[in-house]
Amino acid sequence: MTKLENDIVTSHDRLAQTIDELAERAAPKNVFARQKEQAKASFDNATRTESGELRMDRVAIAGAVVGGIILLKLISSRRSKNKKMTFADWERQRAKRSW
């Protein structure tokens, strides 16, 4: 083989290896794993100090927000269960929406 042929074969091998690495990196399971790790790291940074202790103020705020959302969802679902729409209600809403 000539030097040019050797260079072509070497370049081809490097390109094939690069394509294999990119395909592995772009595989959905690997993308998901990287995103999951980033989310865990972000959560840890938000809820822990540099020494690893919990930031109770932030944990309490997050708990209160989650509790508030759950409470609002419960109230909303109970209101919708208690109010049954009559045909007249439906007609009024339809009239409001018509152009």
Please determine, for residue 50, whether its predicted confidence score (pLDDT) is greater than 90: no
pLDDT, residue 81, reads 66
Bridge partner residues of 48 (DSSP) = 54
pLDDT, residue 91, reads 84
Rg (CA), the chain: 29
Residue 13 has phi, psi (to 5 degrees) of -65, -45
pLDDT tens digits along 4-38:
999 999 999 999 999 999 999 999 999 999 999 99
pLDDT tens digits along 57-97:
988 998 999 999 999 999 888 777 666 778 888 788 888 87
Q: Is 83 left (phi over 0), alpha (psi -120 to 50) or beta?
A: beta
Give the DSSP letter of residue 83: -
Chain centroid, CA 82 distance in Å = 34
Q: Is 31 left (phi over 0), alpha (psi -120 to 50) or beta?
A: alpha
Please determine, for residue 98, whether its predicted confidence score (pLDDT) is greater than 90: no
